[in-house]
Amino acid sequence: MSLSQMDRVAQATPKKVARRIKGLSDRAIAWIFVAPTIFLLLAINIFPLIWTIQLSFTNYRANRLNREVENIGLRNYERILTDSDIWLNMQATAHFLFWTIFFQVLIGFTLAWLIHRNFKGNAFWTTVIVLPMMLSPAVVGNFWKFLYQPQIGLFNYIVSFFTGKDPSSFEMLGSVDLAPWSIVIVDTWMWTPFVMLICLAGLRSIPDYIYEAAAIDRASKTRQFFTITIPMVLPFLMLAVLFRGIENFKMFDLVVQLTGGGPGSTTELTSINLKREAFEKWRTGYASAYAIILFVTVFGLASIYVKALNKVKER
Amino acid sequence: MSAHSITEPTDRAKWIAGGLVVLYALVTMIPLAWIMLTGFKSPADAISYPPKVVFEPTLEGYVNLFTTRTRQTDDFLAANPPQNWADEIVRQYDMVIVGPSKFGERFLNSVIIGFGSTFLSVFLGTLAAYAFSRFKIPLADDLLFFILSTRMMPPIAVAIPIFLMYRNLGLSDTHLGMILLYTAVNISLAVWLLKGFIDEIPREYEEAALIDGYTRFQAFYKVVLPQAATGIASTAIFCLIFAWNEYAFAVLLTSATAQTAPPFIPTIIGIGGLDWPAVAAGATIFLLPVMIFTILLRKHLLRGITFGAVRK
């Protein structure tokens, strides 16, 4: 049946007749279609979550099966929240989150704004720019480690080429001062295109007539930028920040490959720290409490943020 | 200016914008280009200072990536001439190829787990998305939000109970275990994206088919599925890329049998000392399919990375 024919039939069809269906009822089909997905998520997401909550009140260690498991109440939570090292990890995570989002928004928006000029070939170059974002973070981290090698690495060479510094005089991954920035640089390299793409969609959603009206009212280009462009792109930009925020709060693979959390624990983000507690020290109960704290934090922050986002959208 | 509309940028503005964007694109490509070049260098060229842009290309990195080698005595080398071109490359270090490396196996694991989980998540996701799109489901919004929220958990946090559960069920380090796990992670993306795509197909098509005597099932797979084909294909590619790139679960839950390529590639360096060309070769082979897929996907990219929240 061709489309036009279908359209004609569709238009001629009263809705009531259309709802009469042979075989299974709609409700039965709806449940048959949704059930496997819900079941899978219950089995592999919700059941484990509940189990984690239960483990978080115990002193269970997954590598000692014969040890008696005791219920220790809230002691795991108490220990985590009063541990100064964990607050240092939180700070490292906050530093990483803040600066990656700052640079990605700044560069991403600028790029989108430039691409929106619709120069010749902009679609091609957009695709080129987007490539890093789709790659495996672990493999990216691994080869940036190569680029960051002092003496032989390309990054140090390029920096020394432009600044005249000796390429073996600084270690991006080995120094306490530079390592937090080395992970910010790689994440920014990788994810700026993400912010750019979303901003570009925002810019393209602004209808031309608004600018035309502003031009007739003799609003300057700068004024148009701050009173039209920025407010109209803002909801998109905030959405991009939400995605990047959640992703980078969970950050593990890229940084593990780059620095492994070092030197010392300067780049030990919470996920890396959690992995140490859970799978190296095998403090399963303690790590479970830690996991719950992280989950509540990201969920809580995201919910507050989404409320703010919806307010901006309504304006 | 007069020839343009008010909103159309001038030619000069376009040139400047284009120039800056091209400059950024070229700079951002340097790391990728460098890793691909390094794959064709000899280990000595790979770590030379200053870094070599012009060098004599060799397939040493690729040979080292795919083989295991041992050092041999001069007598043995003299008595056994090289078997093939790969053996010849290895001979310059007094070594012989003794067998394949694990890379092929790991790569194959990535393919099996990637395609397996993609098929499952797109299959289940299409069904669920169709139901959410077409039927009145009680608490649909809450269910959809629940499906999305499963994605907010840090993978390491989920990994603790999954590790215990898989240990009890015998699913640790198995292909099936990883396929199920990646399906569970990807299904939120699949449902959200596919719901968006199916929402865009006019209901009238199915209703017409129902009138013609099709059952719901028939209407679903004879009318809706063909219309949603592009959406299903791009959703599948997104799921595939995620499963392909995943590292945290892979490194914690797999080791000998079901290990995928991402946890394996960084370990290549340990096999032959500072064998950066082999690492680069492995990274190149591993990243190239994703780059090709990204280019194919470019029109739906935005939609995929935002779970369908932003549609152009």
Domains and CATH numbers, chain A: 84-314 (1.10.3720.10)
Residue B180 lies in a domain: yes
Q: What is the pLDDT of residue B301?
A: 84
Say if residue B109 is in the same domain as residue B238: yes
**Helix, strand or coil for residue A170?**
coil
**What angle separates helix A137-147 from helix B229-245, to the nearest 10 degrees?**
50
The answer to whether B133 and A283 are in contact (CB under 8 A) is: no
Q: What is the pLDDT of residues A50-68, one digit of tens each?
A: 999 999 999 888 888 777 7
Q: Give CA–CA dist A160/A148, Å, rounded.
A: 12
Residue B136 lies in a domain: yes
The answer to whether B216 and B210 are in contact (CB under 8 A) is: yes
Could you say which of B83, B101, B119 is where a domain stops? B101
% of chain B exceeding 90 in pLDDT: 42
Least confident residue range of A67-71, A307-311, B174-178: A67-71
% of chain A exceeding 70 in pLDDT: 92
Q: Give CA–CA dist B238/B263, Å, rounded.
A: 20
pLDDT tops 90 at residue B297: no
B2 lies within 8 A of chain A by CB: no
Q: What is the pLDDT of residue A4?
A: 53
A306 lies within 8 A of chain B by CB: no
Beta-bridge partners for B68: B99
Say if residue B180 is in the same domain as residue B262: yes
Q: What is the pLDDT of residue A182?
A: 94
Q: Which of B150, B156, B205 is facing A274, going by the closest CB pair?
A: B156
Least confident residue range of A19-33, A72-86, B55-69: A19-33
A301 lies within 8 A of chain B by CB: no
Name residue, tokens 């607050």: A87
Mean pLDDT of chain B: 87
Q: Give CA–CA dist B30/A157, Å, rounded.
A: 13
Q: What is the pLDDT of residue B249?
A: 93
Q: What is the pLDDT of residue B49?
A: 79
pLDDT tops 90 at residue A101: yes
Say if residue B97 is in the same domain as residue B222: no
Q: Phi and psi at residue B163, in whole multiples of 5°? A: -60, -45
> What is the least distance, in Å, from the CA of A96 to any CA of chain B?
16
Say if residue B82 is in the same domain as residue B139: no
A296 lies within 8 A of chain B by CB: no
Q: What is the pLDDT of residue A23?
A: 58
Closest CA to A195 of A253, A112, A92, A296: A112
Per-residue pLDDT band at A11 (split at 50, 70, 90): low
Residue B29 lies in a domain: no
What ipTM describes this predicted complex?
Answer: 0.88
Disruptive mutation site among B10, B24, B311 for chain A (greatest number of A CBs within 10 Å): B24
Q: What pTM does this model have? A: 0.88
Tell me the average pLDDT across A247-274.
90
Name residue, tokens 């059930």: A35
B93 lies within 8 A of chain A by CB: no
Q: Give CA–CA dist B121/B127, Å, rounded.
A: 10
The answer to whether B264 and B103 are in contact (CB under 8 A) is: yes
Show residues of chain B in contact with A292, CB under 8 Å.
Answer: 157
Closest CA to B103 of B70, B71, B59, B64: B64
Task: Find the DSSP H helices in chain A.
Answer: 3-12, 15-18, 26-41, 47-55, 75-82, 84-115, 122-130, 137-147, 154-163, 179-204, 208-216, 221-224, 230-249, 253-258, 270-279, 284-314
Q: Give CA–CA dist B281/B60, Å, rounded.
A: 9
| Number of neighbours of residue B232 by Cβ within 10 angstroms | 22
Say if residue B172 is in the same domain as residue B268: yes
Q: Give CA–CA dist B254/B269, Å, rounded.
A: 19
Per-residue pLDDT band at A286 (split at 50, 70, 90): very high
Say if residue B94 is in the same domain as residue B222: no
Say if residue B145 is in the same domain as residue B261: yes
Say if residue B197 is in the same domain as residue B297: yes
* Ramachandran region, residue A27 (left: φ > 0; alpha: ψ -120 to 50; beta: rest): alpha
Per-residue pLDDT band at B70 (split at 50, 70, 90): confident
Q: Give CA–CA dist A14/B211, Å, rounded.
A: 10
Whether residues A154 and B34 touch (CB distance < 8 A) is answered with yes
Per-residue pLDDT band at B8 (split at 50, 70, 90): confident
Residue B69 lies in a domain: yes
- Using CB atoms and an 8 Å cut-off, which of residues 213-252 of chain B contact chain A? 213, 215-217, 241, 244-248, 251-252
Report the number of distinct structural domains present in chain B.
2
Residue B26 lies in a domain: no
Residue B77 lies in a domain: yes
| Number of neighbours of residue B29 by Cβ within 10 angstroms | 15
% of chain A exceeding 90 in pLDDT: 48
- Using CB atoms and an 8 Å cut-off, which of residues 26-65 of chain B contact chain A? 28-32, 34-35, 38, 46-51
Q: Which two tokens stand for residue A166?
A: 């000796």
Say if residue B188 is in the same domain as residue B296: yes
Handedness of CA B238, B239, B241, B247 (dihedral sign): positive
Q: What is the pLDDT of residue A256?
A: 92
Residue B184 lies in a domain: yes
Q: What is the pLDDT of residue A8?
A: 55
Q: What is the pLDDT of residue A18?
A: 46
Could you say which of B45, B74, B101 is where a domain stops? B101
Q: Which two tokens stand for residue A154?
A: 């390309």
Q: What is the pLDDT of residues B32-42, one digit of tens each?
A: 999 999 999 98
- Better-predicted residue by pLDDT, B158 or B232: B232
Q: Which residues contact A218 (CB under 8 A, 6 or more apart)?
A: none
Residue B20 lies in a domain: no
pLDDT tops 90 at residue A219: no
Per-residue pLDDT band at B312 (split at 50, 70, 90): low
Least confident residue range of A271-275, B188-192, B266-270, B303-307: B266-270
Q: What is the pLDDT of residue B1?
A: 39
Q: Which of A55, A117, A125 is facing B25, going by the closest CB pair?
A: A125
CATH value at residue B142: 1.10.3720.10
Tell me the average pLDDT across A2-26.
53
Disruptive mutation site among A119, A162, A216, A288 for chain B (greatest number of B CBs within 10 Å): A119
Show residues of chain A in contact with B147, CB under 8 Å.
Answer: 37, 41
> What is the least distance, in Å, from the CA of A97 to any CA of chain B?
15
Strands (E), chain B: 67-71, 95-100
A242 lies within 8 A of chain B by CB: no
Say if residue B147 is in the same domain as residue B224: yes
The answer to whether A300 and A236 are in contact (CB under 8 A) is: no
Per-residue pLDDT band at B5 (split at 50, 70, 90): low
Say if residue B199 is in the same domain as residue B87: no
> What is the least distance, in Å, from the CA of A196 to any CA of chain B?
10
The answer to whether A134 and A110 are in contact (CB under 8 A) is: no
User: CA dihedral defined by A77, A83, A87, A93, rounded to 10 degrees?
Assistant: -70
Handedness of CA A269, A272, A275, A277 (dihedral sign): negative
Show residues of chain B in contact with A15, CB under 8 Å.
Answer: 207
Tell me the average pLDDT across B265-281.
79
Q: What is the pLDDT of residue A168?
A: 81
Per-residue pLDDT band at A2 (split at 50, 70, 90): very low
Q: What is the pLDDT of residue B158?
A: 85
Show residues of chain B in contact with A117, CB under 8 Å.
Answer: 9, 13-14, 17-18
Say if residue B87 is in the same domain as residue B224: no
- Better-predicted residue by pLDDT, A107 or B272: A107
Whether residues A37 and B20 touch (CB distance < 8 A) is answered with no
AA identity, residue A48: P
Structural domain that includes position B65: 59-101
A302 lies within 8 A of chain B by CB: yes
| DSSP single-letter state for residue A71 | B
User: CA dihedral defined by B14, B17, B20, B22, rounded to 10 degrees?
Assistant: -60
Give the nearest chain B residue to A210 (CA atoms).
Answer: B7
Q: What is the pLDDT of residues B72-117, one digit of tens each?
A: 888 888 888 887 888 888 888 778 888 888 899 999 999 999 999 9
Q: Which of B7, B134, B205 is facing A212, going by the closest CB pair?
A: B7
Could you say which of B42, B68, B101 is where a domain stops? B101
Q: Which of A37, A46, A147 is facing B128, going by the closest CB pair?
A: A37
**What's the N-to-C CA distance of chain B in angstroms?**
29
Q: What is the pLDDT of residue A17?
A: 46
What's the Cα-to-Cα distance from B184 to each of A131, A288, B179, B209, rounded to whole Å? 26, 20, 9, 33
Q: Give CA–CA dist A16/A260, Å, rounded.
A: 63
**What angle separates helix B175-199 from helix A26-41, to the nearest 10 degrees?**
140
Q: Give CA–CA dist B219/B209, Å, rounded.
A: 6
